Amino acid sequence: MNVDVILGLQWGDEGKGKIVDHLAKEYDIVARFQGGPNAGHTLKINNQKFVLHTIPSGIFRPNLINLIGNGVVIDPVTLEKEIAKLDDAGVDYQGRLIVAHKAHLILPTHRYLDAASENAKGKAKIGSTLKGIGPTYMDKTGRNGLRAGDIISPNFEKKYQALKEKHLKLLEQYPPFDFDLEAEEAKWMASLERFKQLPQVNGEYFVNQALDEGKKILAEGAQGSMLDIDYGTYPFVTSSNTITAGVCTGLGISTRKIGEVIGISKAYCTRVGSGPFPTELHDEVGELLRKEGAEFGATTGRPRRCGWVDLPQLKYTIMLNGVSQLVITKIDVLNVFKEIMMATHYSINDEKTDQLPYDMCDEEIELVLESFEGWETSLEGVSDYEELPAQAKAFIKALEEYLEVPVTMVSTGPARQELIQRNIQAEV
Ligand code: GDP
Ligand code: IMO
Ligand code: MG
């Protein structure tokens, strides 16, 4: 058996949570492989909205296991709050929510360091979610981190104190700011008691044994490929590998165990936080996308920047990930538009290209745009691909032709059932 992958092809918030929840029913295990509580994955089930930050989006489907994998960074305080919401909703997660013991822990002082680093950057700030992600991955690669498995070690307290002291020293380098470490630390320690009750596994053996037993695993990405630490719009990125390669390191599987790679893109594009965004619209069209798409961050509530879909950008992330299927989400957001645009190429120094430059921050990128007729009608109740308006089908066909990957699903609203699963074989 192989691990299928779902990941975002843009700058995050493509609707990964909704699609994972939909597909999860066909799997035995859903596993997060990177990122942490910077993620906000929204699910709308029976008119109730849930936002998951650390818990995999398969948790609302009965019976299957949800693994927080080795590559994830965990804040036990956030996780405790998420679990409390599952309790409120009556979700039975006992024995189904498990943690890989090599996943790293986010300390309160990691969050302070995140804030201090952002403040010091002034206008050049990344726009971090301030969840402590960067400093935690820095400690991981710097070989200083605390891992989930350490919480039962007799040396845990000592290790914690040493790391905290190191952080406090580092914080002295920055202009002073207010924080209540004593209170936050008490909360953090208390949350560890809840955390200890979650089963911990050796993630790499767990996943590989499950595959050997013929179990089906779905890996759930967080953030998007343009926020990848290596290939994203550096330095305006997150601190993990968000691309398919991150599944191998994040779960401990061989590259030969990767199956389908399902890439998700909105029918337009958004970004939250700073950094280059070639197709961003600073006008009323961008405003309308934000309004129609309710584009406000699921984790921070910040307004998302909006623009048209960017094909050079998508071609790039499809290449990086080896995408075998495309899912287009939020197509309904375009219902009100008379004209819809797609950037097919960039023009840099008067040269037309469909490749991304070395550093998008340094380049004056002009767009080659193609115009499409809007459908100007609601998609409510459309459940069959053939029932979509001709203009919407033409838009999807153009995406497939440019990107050379089949669109297998189209999402027409936030709710679980607002999804068109395409049967491409039957269409031809
Ligand atoms: P994720 O981080 O990739 O899981 O995405 P987010 O949850 O941060 O953001 C996606 C937002 O769009 C959420 O509010 C979803 O409820 C919503 N959403 C998902 N799919 C659709 C869709 O097809 N149409 C509309 N209108 N909203 C959608
Ligand atoms: P999901 O999984 C959108 C962005 C932040 C910031 C940059 C670095 O919901 O798609 P970090 O906190 O990681 O140091 O922030 O990355 N960012 C996201 N943007 N969706 C996310 O996750 C994001 N996670 C981080 O806004 O620009
Ligand atoms: Mg999100």
* Tens-place pLDDT, residues 6-39: 999 999 999 999 999 999 999 999 999 999 999 9
Residue 428 pLDDT: 63
Look over the chain and give the mean of its residue pLDDT values, rounded to a whole number. 96
Who contacts 202 (Cβ-Cβ below 8 Å, separation ≥6)?
A: 100, 101, 102
Handedness of CA 246, 252, 256, 259 (dihedral sign): negative
Active-site annotation holds for 87: no
Query: pLDDT at residue 101 above 90?
Result: yes
| 221 CA closest ligand 2 atom index | 2
> What is the C-alpha to C-alpha distance for residues 55 and 32, in angstroms, rounded to an integer?
8
Ligand 2 atom 20: residue of nearest CA: 12
Q: What's the rounded mean pLDDT across residues 305-311?
A: 98
Ligand nearest to the CA of 39: 2
> What is the C-alpha to C-alpha distance for residues 110 and 184, in angstroms, rounded to an integer?
12
Ligand 1 atom 16: residue of nearest CA: 414
Please state whether beta strands 29-32 and 48-52 pair in parallel, antiparallel, or not at all (unpaired): unpaired
What is the whole-number distance in angstroms between the Cα of residue 8 and the centre of ligand 3?
A: 10
* Residues 233-249: tens digit of each pLDDT: 999 999 999 999 999 99
Residue 299 pLDDT: 80
The answer to whether the CB of 286 falls within 8 A of the CB of 277 is no
What is the whole-number distance in angstroms between the Cα of residue 91 and the centre of ligand 1?
A: 22
What is the whole-number distance in angstroms between the Cα of residue 427 and the centre of ligand 2?
A: 37
Q: What is the DSSP string of 279-311?
A: TB--SHHHHHHHHHTT-B-TTT-PBPEEE-EEH
| 240 CA closest ligand 2 atom index | 13
User: Among residues 4, 21, 41, 101, which one is catalytic?
Assistant: 41
Query: pLDDT at residue 425 above 90?
Result: no
Ligand nearest to the CA of 238: 2
DSSP helix, strand, coil percent of the chain (3-state; round to 5): 35, 25, 40
The answer to whether the CB of 33 falls within 8 A of the CB of 64 is no
Residue 5 pLDDT: 98
Ligand 2 atom 13: residue of nearest CA: 238
What is the whole-number distance in angstroms between the Cα of residue 73 and the centre of ligand 2?
A: 14
Active-site annotation holds for 282: no
Hey, how many other C-beta atoms are within 10 angstroms of the C-beta on 84?
Answer: 11
User: Among residues 13, 114, 139, 310, which one is catalytic?
Assistant: 13
Mutate to test the pocket of ligand 2, among 128, 130, 302 (most ligand atoms within 8 A of CB): 128
Question: 421: which strand partners?
Answer: 409
Task: Tell me how far the alpha carbon of residue 28 is from its chain's centroid.
Answer: 21
Mutate to test the pocket of ligand 1, among 10, 13, 300, 327 (most ligand atoms within 8 A of CB): 13
Query: pLDDT at residue 300 above 90?
Result: no
